[in-house]
Amino acid sequence: MTKAEKVAEIINILEFYYPETPVPLDHKDHYSLLVAVLLSAQCTDVRVNQVTPALFKLADTPAKMVKQKVEDIAAIIRPCGLSPRKSRAIHQLSQILLDQYDGEVPNDMEALETLPGVGHKTASVVISQGFGVPAFPVDTHIHRLAWRWGLTTGKNVVQTEKDLKRLFPRELWNKLHLQIIFFGREYCPARGHRPLECPICSKFGRKAVFK
């Protein structure tokens, strides 16, 4: 089987199991998505969705957020972890959005990556899920799956992102990102993984996966 045939089969498997890919983080606009994605660093989407209603009840726009004390923001988002750092980042980026972007979240990767607390992965998620611009956000989970499935030999998420972008059609990136996340949670988890029962690893998994 050629690499192209393998990629096509993986696309078919993911499409079969996850034809619909709802955005896992609850949000109502670009700003609430940006904040939710920032909070999701080292935290589950479920936990973020439990925390954001109270946060956005307090302040759901940059203008309202900058009026809040950082300590009050931190108290609400504490269950997400890293609350001192994340609360400062939310407060600071809200001020920057007001000062430089008329309170709007920019539709630009470079601009997003300059915001406090927003790295490449966070910016990629906002661009893809918020604005529909093709991107392929890669975190440690997708990196692990791509390695298991023999799609990359990369030692880090940067190289894996390059490999996945090269292998998969650009118009599928946004959906595939979510499909891989959903698939990994249900069939290819980090712990308790059963390769022979995984619809992809059982066909394409590296030999090391079965050890």
Question: Per the residue annotation, which of 86, 139, 163, 175 is the catalytic one?
Answer: 139
Q: What angle do CA 201, 144, 169 make, to 5 degrees?
A: 80
pLDDT one-digit tens code per residue, 35-62: 999 999 999 999 999 999 999 999 999 9
11: helix, coil or strand?
helix
Sorted by sequence, the CB contacts under 8 Å of residue 185 that are 6+ apart come out as: none
pTM of the model: 0.92
pLDDT one-digit tens code per residue, 126-136: 999 999 999 99
Does 210 have pLDDT greater than 70?
no
So where are the chain's domains? Answer: 3-21+136-210, 30-131
CATH 1.10.10.410 correct for 3-21+136-210: no
Q: Which fold has domain 30-131?
A: Endonuclease III; domain 1 (1.10.340)
Question: Per the residue annotation, which of 99, 108, 121, 175 is the catalytic one?
Answer: 121
2 — pLDDT class (breaks 50, 70, 90): confident
Quickly list DSSP for 116-161.
TT--HHHHHHIIIIIH--------HHHHHHHHHTTS---SSHHHHH
121 is catalytic: yes
Q: What is the mean pLDDT of the chain?
A: 95
69 is catalytic: no
| Residue 104 CB neighbour total at 10 angstroms | 13
34: helix, coil or strand?
helix
pLDDT one-digit tens code per residue, 151-181: 999 899 999 999 999 999 999 999 999 999 9
